A and B are shown apart, each in its own frame.
Chain A
Amino acid sequence: DAGVIQSPRHEVTEMGQEVTLRCKPISGHDYLFWYRQTMMRGLELLIYFNNNVPIDDSGMPEDRFSAKMPNASFSTLKIQPSEPRDSAVYFCASSSGGFYNEQFFGPGTRLTVL
C-alpha cells in the first residue's frame, strides 16, 4: 500500500516567489496534518483537516501561508510570497478514525528559499 506521498521532494526558490507543496494522504484516512521541521523549533503542527475541512490553523505562522484540501486525496500548502526564514522541511501526515490515532508521515519536502 502506498504511504503518504509528497511532492516535490526538494524545492529551491527565490525570495518573493510563490511555493506550492502537495500531499496525497493514505487512501481512506480522514485526517490530514501539515507540519514544519526546523533545527531551531523542531517539528511544529501548522494546520490539520478532518474530512477535507480545516479544523485548526493556529499553527500557521503568517497570512503568507495557506492550505487547502479540495478532496479527500489531495492537499496543498502554499507560501506566497516566500521568505528565507520559510526554509524548512515540510511534512504531511494522515491518520484514520480519530484525531488521536497514529499519524503516518510522508517523506517531506525540503524547501530552500534563497
Chain B
Amino acid sequence: GQQLNQSPQSMFIQEGEDVSMNCTSSSIFNTWLWYKQEPGEGPVLLIALYKAGELTSNGRLTAQFGITRKDSFLNISASIPSDVGIYFCAGRGDVYTGANSKLTFGKGITLSVRP
C-alpha cells in the first residue's frame, strides 16, 4: 500500500529554536494533513492543506503542500516546551477514487524540547 516517510524518528531541539519536518511519498496526494499526538491522547489536527503549493499557518506552525504533491513540510518557530509530542503527516489521494480516499499516515516524528 501507500506509505508516507517521515524521518528522523526523533528530534531534539532547544527551547526557542525553529524546527522543520518533512514528509514524503512515492504517490501523489491531493490532501495533506499534519497532526500532533501528546502522551496518552489521540492525534489532533494541526493544519490541513488542499492545494499544491499552498502555505498555511496556525500560530507558530506553518505547513506547505509540495509542488510535486508528493511531499509536505511542517515548520515550528520559536519552540516552547509544550510543543513536545509526536508529529504525524497524513495524506489522501483523489477524493473521487475510493481506493485512495482513506488517510495514509506517516509513522511520526517525536519532538523533544529542552528548556
| Chain A residues at the B interface, C-beta cutoff of 8 Å | 4, 39, 42-45, 56, 59, 91, 93, 99-100, 102-103, 105-108
Instruction: Point out the residues of chain B lying under 8 angstroms from A100, CB to CB.
Output: 31, 92, 95, 101
Q: Which of A43, A99, A106, A107 contacts B105 (CB 8 A)?
A: A43
Contact digits for B30-53, partner A, Cβ 8 Å, 1 yes 0 no: 010000000011111100100000
**Bound-complex Cα distance A108 to B86 (A):** 15
| Chain B residues at the A interface, C-beta cutoff of 8 Å | 31, 40-45, 48, 88, 92, 95, 101-103, 105-108
Contact yes or no, B41 A99, CB < 8 A: no
Q: Which residue of A lies closest to B107 (CB)?
A: A42
**Bound-complex Cα distance A108 to B45 (A):** 16
Residues of B contacting A: mostly: loop
Residues of A contacting B: mostly: loop
Would A42 and B42 be within 8 Å (CB), given that A100-B31, A102-B48 are in contact?
Answer: no
Q: Which residue of B lies closest to A41 (CB)?
A: B107
Instruction: Jot down 9 A-B pairs with beta carbons below 8 A, ordered by A.
Output: A4-B42, A39-B107, A42-B105, A43-B43, A93-B42, A100-B92, A105-B43, A106-B42, A108-B42
Shortest Cβ distance from residue A21 to the other chain B in the assembled complex, whole angstroms? 13
Would A102 and B42 be within 8 Å (CB), given that A42-B105, A42-B106 are in contact?
Answer: no
